[in-house]
Amino acid sequence: MKTIFHSAPIINPNNPVIKWIAIPFLLIFIAILSPLLAMGNLLAYFFIGIPVLIIGALVLLKWPGAGFPMLIIASLIIPIRISTGTQTSINSAMIVSIGMIGLWIFDMITREKQIRLLPAAVIRPSIAFIVIALIAFLFGQLPWYPGRSASLFSQLGGLSLFILLTLTLMVTIHRLTEIKWLQASVWIFIILGGIYNIAFLIPPFRPYVNRIFQRAVLDSLFWLWLLVLTFGQAFLNHNLSPKLRLLLGLSTVAILYNLFIMKQSWTSGWLPAFVAVFFVVLFTRPKLAFSTMGIAGIVFLISSQFTNELIMGGDNEYSLLTRLEAWKILGEIIKANPLFGLGPSNYYFFTPYYRILGYSVNFNSHNNYIDIVAQIGLLGLFVYFWLIFEIFSSGWRARKLVENKGFTYAYIYSALGGVIGVLAAGMFGDWVIPFVYNVGMEGFRASVLGWVFMGYLVFIELKSRQNNHVV
């Protein structure tokens, strides 16, 4: 005799218990938690966060590459912030990055039974950068100047930014296993960023998108990567339909309008993004790049007023004056320990010992390179440039390994331009590695985008060599 078992559904929505007890209870539970989440209540985060973290960990263990689209979404629109008891907080992008790093290490220990690093040239400078930051942290405990330095929590926060961003780069190289996850994260970024840009240009929509989108959309690297990736796919991805390329082209124009017209006095916004796009064109269509540069030069010479407003508009003239004075003073502070710096976050408390324009105040450099030297020394700056050089070199080699002119081809050249844009952005602020007392921990939301997008270049090279080409 054949026995057939019929399984009943675990949850039957028509069950009176579910209908009259469980659903109202769930609604009340959500109603209680929602305002608590908005206020950053830790208990509310615990009730919501633990199940989410468990499910997320299981997903990432099975599909490691899924973490990258999750990271983009967390950076741009998830508002979670966990207070650290200081002026800084741990945000959702940091939580996702820490989770991806932790699961990577966990997977190596439990499944692979060894710490295995891929043979990428960028690994050595990445490890060296972390080691130098740790040594600089130890130097930071010395009394370089009389009086107090940064609190231990602030120093640990500054150190965590150096380490976490570098480890995120390494995780990108090791945990991104399939090109589809790279494509998903890039398209999600282009779509979300495009929605924000268009909505921002329409005044009635502006308050709504500013509530939905997080701090990342205010930072230089967001606009840099949004422009260069959107432009790159429109300009170079011949596998897209003409309508989609046209739509991306219109989105590019809208981004340019926002940067050059709406935000024209914000040099940190438009200049690095412009540099990135220019080098994309230079690498792929050099004649077009030089002719465009010539036309732009003529326009700037003819319209001197527009040029002056673009470069010295707003408070740019005063900002340039104060920055030059700040850099002179920081040069004196750095002399105390030029090789390893004064430790993460510390120099901010040493600046009042020197008068800037007649005032004794705390200030920061508004320059990533001076920040790096002041915190982790000239050795740290040297290794940082070494790291960026290896990333760019990986992308430069990868461009010869890609046969078609589709998404990957467009991405490689876009990201190569993006790397140069990142170097330019570092001159205007602590956009690449946020400084605790300026852009702060919230700046991680935008800065991590750059480290992940640059890491994709290394992944593409490794994947291309493994498969001979990327489709």
Q: What is the pLDDT of residues 300-340, one digit of tens each?
A: 677 666 666 656 555 666 677 788 888 999 999 999 999 99
Distance of alpha carbon 380 from alpha carbon 296, whole angstroms:
37
Which pLDDT value is given to residue 42? Answer: 55
Which pLDDT value is given to residue 55? Answer: 73
Which pLDDT value is given to residue 307? Answer: 60
pLDDT band, very low/low/confident/very high, at 464 (cuts 50, 70, 90): confident
Domain borders along the chain are 26-62, 121-467
Which pLDDT value is given to residue 184? Answer: 94
Residue type (1 letter), 46: F
Distance of alpha carbon 447 from alpha carbon 219, whole angstroms:
8
pLDDT band, very low/low/confident/very high, at 277 (cuts 50, 70, 90): very high
What is the DSSP track for 16-36?
A: HHIIIIIHHHHHHHHHHHHHH
Mean pLDDT on 84-92: 73
- pLDDT surpasses 90 at 169: yes
Which pLDDT value is given to residue 37? Answer: 52
Which pLDDT value is given to residue 43? Answer: 58
pLDDT band, very low/low/confident/very high, at 17 (cuts 50, 70, 90): very low
Distance of alpha carbon 436 from alpha carbon 137, whole angstroms:
14
Q: Which of 154-168, 299-313, 322-336, 381-395 has the lowest mean pLDDT?
A: 299-313
Residue type (1 letter), 296: A
Residues in the chain, total: 471
- pLDDT surpasses 80 at 27: no
Residues 6+ apart with CB under 8 A from 72: 185, 188, 189, 192, 449
Mean pLDDT on 136-162: 91
Phi-psi bin for 241: left (phi > 0), alpha (psi -120 to 50), beta? beta
Distance of alpha carbon 383 from alpha carbon 163, whole angstroms:
13
| Cβ proximity of 233 and 410 under 8 Å | yes
| Cβ proximity of 325 and 357 under 8 Å | yes
Q: What is the pLDDT of residues 193-232, one digit of tens each?
A: 999 999 999 999 999 999 999 999 999 999 999 999 999 9
- pLDDT surpasses 60 at 2: no
Mean pLDDT on 373-392: 98
Please give the helix or strand (H or E) that residue 91 lies within, else none: strand 89-91
Q: What is the CA radius of gyration of the chain?
A: 24
- pLDDT surpasses 60 at 10: no
Average pLDDT, the chain: 85
Distance of alpha carbon 393 from alpha carbon 382, whole angstroms:
16
Residues 6+ apart with CB under 8 A from 424: 271, 272, 275, 276
pLDDT band, very low/low/confident/very high, at 137 (cuts 50, 70, 90): very high
Which pLDDT value is given to residue 54? Answer: 72
Which pLDDT value is given to residue 309? Answer: 61
Which pLDDT value is given to residue 312? Answer: 56
Burial class (CB in 10 A: 0-12, 13-18, 19+), 50: exposed
What does pTM read for this prediction?
Answer: 0.86
Which pLDDT value is given to residue 50? Answer: 65
Higher pLDDT pick, 304 / 147: 147
Measured on CA atoms in the order 26, 29, 31, 34, is the torsion positive or negative?
Answer: negative
Distance of alpha carbon 349 from alpha carbon 385, whole angstroms:
27
Residue 8 is classified by DSSP as P
Which pLDDT value is given to residue 53? Answer: 67
- Structure-token pair, residue 282: 């230079």
Which pLDDT value is given to residue 31? Answer: 54
Burial 231-251 (b: 16+ CB within 10 A, else e): bbbbbbbeebeeeebeebeeb
Q: What percent of the chain has pLDDT over 90?
A: 60
Please give the helix or strand (H or E) that residue 90 lies within, else none: strand 89-91
Distance of alpha carbon 76 from alpha carbon 109, whole angstroms:
32
Please give, one letter per residue, the 3-state secondary structure of 97-126.
HHHHHHHHHHHHHHHHCCCCCCCCCCHHHH
Residues 6+ apart with CB under 8 A from 296: none
pLDDT band, very low/low/confident/very high, at 47 (cuts 50, 70, 90): low
Which pLDDT value is given to residue 182? Answer: 95
Distance of alpha carbon 303 from alpha carbon 146, whole angstroms:
52
What is the DSSP track for 296-338?
A: HHHHHHH-HHHHHHHHHTTTHHHHHHHHHHHHHHHHHHHTTST
Q: Which of 11-25, 235-249, 278-292 has the lowest mean pLDDT?
A: 11-25
